[in-house]
A and B are shown apart, each in its own frame.
Chain A
Amino acid sequence: MTQQQATETLTFSLNNNEVTVPKGWTVMQAAAREGIKIPHFCWHPGLSIAGVCRFCMVKVEGRPKLEIACNLIATPGMQVTTETEEVKAAHKWALEFHLINHPLDCPICDQAGECSLQDYYMSVGKYKSEMTLKKVLKPKALDVGGDLVLDTERCILCSRCVRFEKEVTKTGALGIFDRGDRAIISIYDDKKISHNYTTNLVDICPVGAFTSKDFRFRKRVWFLKDIDTTCPGCSTGCQVKLYSKPEERRYYRIKPRFSETNGHWMCDEGRHLYAHMNPEKRQRTAFTPKQDNERGSKEQRVRADIRDALAFLKLKMAKYAPSDIALLVSSQLTNEEYKKTFAYFVTFLGVKKVFAWRDSAENIEAFDGLLNRGDKNPNTKGHAASLEAVGLPPVVSKSGFADAMASGAKFFIAIAPENTQGFVSSFDDQLKQLSAAGDVALFTSQAEHAKNPAFDLVVPLKCFGEKSGTFLNAQNMESKLAEKPFFPLNDQVKDLVEITALLQEN
C-alpha cells in the first residue's frame, strides 16, 4: 500500500510546463527539483514546514489570494505560476518587510557574501526602501553556547534554528520569545546549547543571526574557494565542502553538503578538521639522518628533499630482511593509497608484518544516533578490504599498534594518521613508544608528530584536502575526496600513490 503510494504520481502545470511529481509533494519541492527558484527563507528541505516568512508566494490559477509554495500540496491539473507581476510585487514586499528592521551591518557580518537577504535583494528586490523610521534594536553578539554567536537584530525569525533544535537534535534549546516585532530567538534561562551539531545552525540560518565562533571574522567568504570532498573525521564519511583561500594554502572551514549519507548536516567535531592542514601545523619537508660529512644543526637529522629521503628509505630497507620490517598503517588513507602501498610493500617487497595504526582505546561501535561515530578513521572498511586483497588477514583492530610493537620487527615503516583529534588514548604515547622501538621511517603530514628528533627519517604527506581518492564508510558506501583537490602545501608533500611511484622508479 505504502509502496504504491510512494510511486503514485500526479501532473500539474508549473510556469506553463507540465511537471510530474510524487503524490503529496509540495509546489516548492517540485520547483526545487525543476530548478525553478522560488525565493524562500523559512523553508528548508531537511526541516518541517513553518510557512512563516511568507516569501515563497506563487499564483495558483483560480484562487483569489497568492499561496505559499512551501505548504501548497500539488494537486492534479493545478496551474501554478511563479513570475507574474502580482507575484513579483509580493516577493518585493515580503523582502521589504524582512529588511525594514534588519540592521544592514553587512560590513561586519560574516554572512555577507552568502546571505539570502543580499542574494534576494539582487534577484527579486532592487527597490528603494519605503522605510524612513528608526529600526527596532535588539541584543547583539550573544554567546548562546556551542560554536555559536547569536545576533538577534539580524534575525528574520524564520524559525529554522528552533525547528532544527526540536526536530534534528531533539534538544529544543531555542525558542522565540516575546511577540510581534519585539520577538527574539533565545535560549531558555541561560541554558546554553551544548551538543555536537551547533554549527549546523550557522549553515541553516539564512542571514547572519547565527555565526560561528570558529570562523568569526577570519575571512570574508568571497575570498574562499570550495571543493566537494568527504569529511575524514569518522567512519560516517559525511559529504562536505572544504573552503580554502588557495593563495594562502590556508583552510578556513568545512560545511556539509546534501547526500544520502549525512542528509543536510554534519557534526561540530568534523567542522574543525581543517586546522591540521594549515601551513603552521604541517610537516613541510622530509628529514634524513645526518651523515658524518654533513654540517648543520646539532640534531641528528637534516631537512632533505623527499626524493633523497625515499632513496635513503630504500637503502635502509635493503639492510633488513622483509621479516624484520613492520608496516604500520593508519586507517585514514584512501583506497587507492592502500592499493599502491600494499602492492609495493607487501606484494613486491614481501613485508608480511602489516599492522593498523589506530587509537588503542577506541570504541568502534559508538554512535550518537545522528552522524558521529566512535571510529575516528574514515576508511576502516577500505583498509580491511585492501589487506584482504593482498592476501593478509583483514584485521583492522585497535590492538594493531601494540601488536606491531610486540612483533619483534627491527624496522618500522609507520604511516601516521593525519587526524588524531578524536583519539581517546594518547597519540603522543604511541609516538614515544614508536621512537624507542627501533629504526623508524615516519610518514606524516603533521609537524607535531615528527617533532621528536629521534625520528630521523621522516616523509611529509598530503592531507585530505590535497588528495583525490575514495573512502569506504561504515555503511560500506564509497565516498569520494575531491576530484580536483586544492593545490598542495608545497612540492615536497606527497600522497602514498605518488610516494610508491617514486619508490618504484628509483
Chain B
Amino acid sequence: MGNTTDKVKILTAFEGIANSRALATYQNHGGYEALKKALTMAPGDLIEIVKNSGIRGRGGAGFPAGLKWSFVPKAEGQKFLVCNNDEGEPGTFKDRYICELSPHMLIEGMAIAAYAIGAQKAYIYTRCEFYEEIAWLETAIKEAYSAGFLGKNIFGTAFSLEMDHYSGSGAYICGEETGLLSSLEGKKGQPKLKPPFPAVSGYLGKPTVVNNTETLASVPWIINNGADAYRAIGTEKAAGTKLFCISGPVQRPGVYELPLGYSFEKLLYEDAGGMLPGHTLKACIPGGASAPVLLPDELKGLTLDYESIAAKGSMLGSGAVMIIDTNTSMVRLMEIIANFFHHESCGQCTPCREGTGWIANIMHEIVSGHAKEEDVDRLAVIAKNMGGKTICALSDAAAMPTMAIVQKFGDELKAYIRKGKAS
C-alpha cells in the first residue's frame, strides 16, 4: 500500500517551533491526545494498530515493533518497557535530535507502549555522553508527572506507569538490548544468551520490551492518525519515516526525516546539497560503522529502505549515512573502525573478543608498515570466521565492514603495504 515518498514530518514536527521541549508547547500541538485516546482502547487493539502500521524497529535490526510487543506474555505480572536511547553507533545522531526537539513525544509514545504491553514501569536508558539530553529528558519526565501523564491512574483510568531515567557508562555494547538490560540491572554491560528473549525474560528476569527512541516516538502519531496513514508513507515493506543522519564532506550534513524508500541520490544531492567543492564521492557507509561500505556504482539508483540496501549487501542500520570522499584513506578508516570494535567488544564470546583484537592488531601493523600483503586476505578470513558466531551481533558488526573493505578496497590496502615497505 505504502508508496508515498513525499516528505512527512512526524518526528521532526517540532522543528522550528520555539520552546519545543516544554510540555505546554507540546500540548498546544496536540500532545498527549494520543495517550488519552489509547487509554480508551484495549491493549490488544493497540498492538494490532502498531502491527498494522508496519513500523519496524529503528535501532538497526528493523524488527517489526508490533510483533515484538505481541511476544510479551498476556498474563498479569510485572513487566517492563525500556527505551533504548543509548545511541552508540558511530555516525548516528538521530535519537538525541528527538530528545532535543520533543522529549514529550518519546514519553507519550512510551506511555502508550507500556499500556499496550501491560508494563508498570518504564526506563529510558541514555548514554552518559548525552548530558544535555539527559537533563531535558529528566525535566520532561518531571513535567509529565506533575501534569498527571505519568504516575498513578493516568487520565483517571486504572493504568499507572512509573518512568525513570538511567544513564549508561559509555559502552557501545549497552546499545544491544540484552547488554542494555544487563547494564540497567547494575551488572557489567554484556549481552545475555538468547533464548530466552527479553520479551519473556528481560530486565530482572521479567518480560521486557526494549525499543529504540525513534520507534517509540513514532507511536503517538500512529495512534493519532491511524495505522493506514502511517502505512501510506514509505514502501510496501518499510512503512513510515526514518531519521537519516548524513555526515562527511557534504554541503549540509545533519538529520533529515525522510520516508523510507527515499532516493539516496536525492538525499545526497538535494537535501544535503551535494559534496563539498573539491571532494569526490568514493564510497558510502549507509547505516553506521557496522554496515558494509558501498561503492558509488552501487549507490546509483539506491533507495533508502531495508530491502534495497540489503540487496546491495549492506544494511540500513541506524540510518547513519556516512559519505567518504576520495581524500579519505580506506586504510585509516578501516583502522579506526577496527579500533572501535576492538575497544567496544565486551569480551564475553571468544570469536569477537579475540577476532576484533586480531583485526585491530593487523590494521596497526598495516598502518605502521610492518604488514605483508597476505595480511589483507587474512583480515577477510578472520572476519568471515568470527561473524555470526556470537551471542550478540557485535562480531558481525566488526566482521561485515572488514569483509566489505577488504573486498572492495583490497587493492588500496595492498598498495599501502607495498608503499610502506618501499619507504
Instruction: Please tell me whether chains A and B touch each other in their complex, using a CB distance cut-off of 8 A.
Output: yes
User: A181 contacts which of B173, B354, B362 (Cβ < 8 Å)?
Assistant: B354
Residues in B whose Cβ lies below 8 Å from that of A90: 385, 389
Q: Once bound together, how far apart are the Cα atoms of A394 and B358, in whole Å?
A: 68
Point out the residue from A53, A159, A175, A181 that lies within 8 Å of B342, measured CB to CB.
A181
Contact between chains at B350 and A94 (CB < 8 Å) = yes
In the complex, what residue of chain B is closest to A41 when comparing beta carbons? B350
Tell me the number of A-to-B contacts counted with CB atoms below 8 Å. Answer: 95
Check if A98 sits within 8 Å of B195, measured CB to CB. no
Q: List, in ascending order, chain B residues with CB within 8 A of A176's CB.
A: 188, 347
Contacts A90-B389, A180-B346 given: A133-B351 contact, CB under 8 Å? no
* A62 CB → nearest B CB, Å: 16
Cβ–Cβ contact A73 & B195, under 8 A? yes
Are B193 and A51 neighbours in the complex by a CB distance under 8 Å? yes
Known: A51-B193, A73-B195. A98 touches B349 (CB 8 A): no
Interface members, chain B 363-394 (any A CB < 8 Å): 365, 375, 378, 381-382, 385-386, 388-391
Q: Are B389 and A57 in contact (CB under 8 A)?
A: yes
Query: B345 contacts the other chain (Cβ, under 8 Å)?
Result: yes
Q: Is A178 an interface residue (CB 8 A)?
A: yes
- In angstroms, Cα B188 to Cα A175, docked, is 10
Chain B residues in 8 Å Cβ range of A179:
171, 173, 343-347
Within 8 A of B (CB), among A63-121: 65-66, 71, 73, 89-90, 93-94, 96-98, 100-101
Q: Which residues of A sit under 8 angstroms from B356, Cβ to Cβ?
A: 180-181
Looking at B350, B351, B390, which has the most chain A CB atoms within 10 Å of its CB?
B350
| A413 interfacial by beta-carbon distance below 8 Å | no
A181 to B195, CA, bound (A): 25
| CA of A197 to CA of B182, assembled, Å | 29
**Chain B's nearest CB lies how many Å from the CB of A498?**
54
With an 8 A cutoff between CB atoms, is A130 at the interface? yes
Q: Is A97 a contact partner of B355 (Cβ separation < 8 A)?
A: yes
The answer on a CB contact under 8 Å between A55 and B345 is: no
Contact string, B170-191, partner A, CB cutoff 8 A, digits 1/0?
0101000000000000001000
| Smallest Cβ-Cβ distance to A42: which chain B residue | B350
Check if B365 sits within 8 Å of A52, measured CB to CB: no
Query: Does A50 make an interface contact (CB < 8 A)?
Result: yes
Given the complex of chains A and B, what is the CA–CA distance between A52 and B391 in angstroms?
7
Q: Is A131 positioned at the interface, with any CB of B under 8 Å from its CB?
A: yes
Instruction: From B343, B348, B357, name the one whose CB has the most chain A CB atoms within 10 angstroms.
Output: B348
With beta carbons under 8 angstroms apart, the residue of B193, B357, B378, B381 that contacts A180 is: B357
Are the CB atoms of B195 and A133 closer together than 8 Å? no
A54 touches B193 (CB 8 A): no
Q: Which of B344, B345, B349, B382 is in CB contact (< 8 Å) with A130?
A: B382
Question: For residue B355, which residues in chain A have a CB less than 8 angstroms away from its CB?
Answer: 97
Greatest chain B CB density within 10 A among A93, A131, A176 is at A93
B56 at the interface (CB under 8 A from A): no
Q: In the complex, are the beta carbons of A133 and B365 less than 8 A apart?
A: yes
A52-B195 in contact given A90-B389, A101-B357 (Cβ < 8 Å): no
Q: Are B358 and A180 in contact (CB under 8 A)?
A: no
At the interface, yes or no: B353 with Cβ under 8 Å from chain A? yes
Partner of A157, one of B344, B350, B358: B350
Q: Are B345 and A93 in contact (CB under 8 A)?
A: no
Contact A51 B391 (CB under 8 A): yes
Interface residue? A304 (CB, 8 A): no
User: Which of A98, A131, A136 contacts B350, CB < 8 Å?
Assistant: A98
Interface code B115-135, partner A: CB below 8 Å = 1, 0 otherwise? Answer: 000000000000000000000
Closest chain B residue to A66, Cβ basis: B389
Contact with A along B315-359 (1 / 0, CB 8 A): 000000000000000000000000000111111111101111110
Smallest CB separation, B93 vs chain A (Å): 24
B280 within 8 A of A: no
Inter-chain contacts of A343 with B (CB < 8 A): none
CA distance A65 to B399 in the complex (A): 15
Note all chain B residues with C-beta closer than 8 A to A156: 350
Contact with B along A146-183 (1 / 0, CB 8 A): 00000000001101000000000000000110111111
A97 contacts which of B343, B351, B378, B391 (Cβ < 8 Å)? Answer: B351
Q: Does B263 contact A (CB under 8 A)?
A: no
Is the CB–CB distance between A181 and B357 below 8 Å?
Answer: yes
B201 contacts chain A at the CB level, 8 A cutoff: no
Q: For A142, what are the chain B residues with a Cβ–Cβ distance below 8 Å? A: none
Q: Can you list 13 pairs linking A and B with CB atoms under 8 Å apart?
A: A51-B391, A54-B350, A89-B385, A90-B385, A100-B358, A101-B354, A131-B358, A133-B365, A156-B350, A157-B347, A181-B342, A181-B345, A181-B347
Q: 10 smallest A-B Cβ distances: which pairs?
A: A183-B347, A181-B357, A93-B385, A97-B354, A180-B345, A51-B193, A180-B347, A179-B347, A97-B350, A133-B361
Chain A interface residues toward B at CB < 8 A: 49-55, 57, 65-66, 71, 73, 89-90, 93-94, 96-98, 100-101, 130-134, 136, 156-157, 159, 175-176, 178-183
